[in-house]
Amino acid sequence: MTKYTLIASRDAFESSEAGHYLDLAADLRKEGNDVTLFLVQNGVFAARKSARTRAVEALAGAGVTVLADAFSLRERGIAKDRLAADVRASELDIIIDHLAEGRRVIWH
C-alpha cells in the first residue's frame, strides 16, 4: 500500500480541474492506498457544510482522510464548526510530517 497526500488549492466551483483531482483521490483509495486530501487556499471552500457539492464528504466516507488548512479557513472566515462531517482543520506543518514519513505528495 502506498501513502499519498494530495494538496488541493483550487476552489471546486471555479475550476473543473478541481473535480478531477478529487476523482484522483477517490481512485487511489479504491486501489487500496492510504490517501489524505489536504485542502488549502481556495480549496477549503469545498470543506464547508454549505458547499454545493458533497464530493468531499463522499471521499471521507470512502476512507480518504480530509483535512483543511486552519490558516486558509481563518483567512476566508470559515469557522471550524462550519466544516462538513469528517473534515478536520489542521495546520500546514502536517505536510512536513507526511514528507518525512515518505508519503507521495502531489500539489494541485
State the residue range of the domain holding 97. Answer: 3-107
Q: How far apart are CA 63 and CA 72, in angstroms?
A: 24
Can you read off the three cell numbers belonging to residue 30? 479504491
CA dist list (Å): 9 to 1, 30, 31, 32, 101? 26, 23, 24, 24, 22
Domain count, the chain: 1
Residue 51 scores a pLDDT above 70: no
pLDDT of residue 7: 96
Answer yes or no: is pLDDT of 107 > 80: yes
CATH number of the domain to which 15 belongs: 3.40.1260.10
Tell me the pLDDT of the chain averaged across its residues.
91
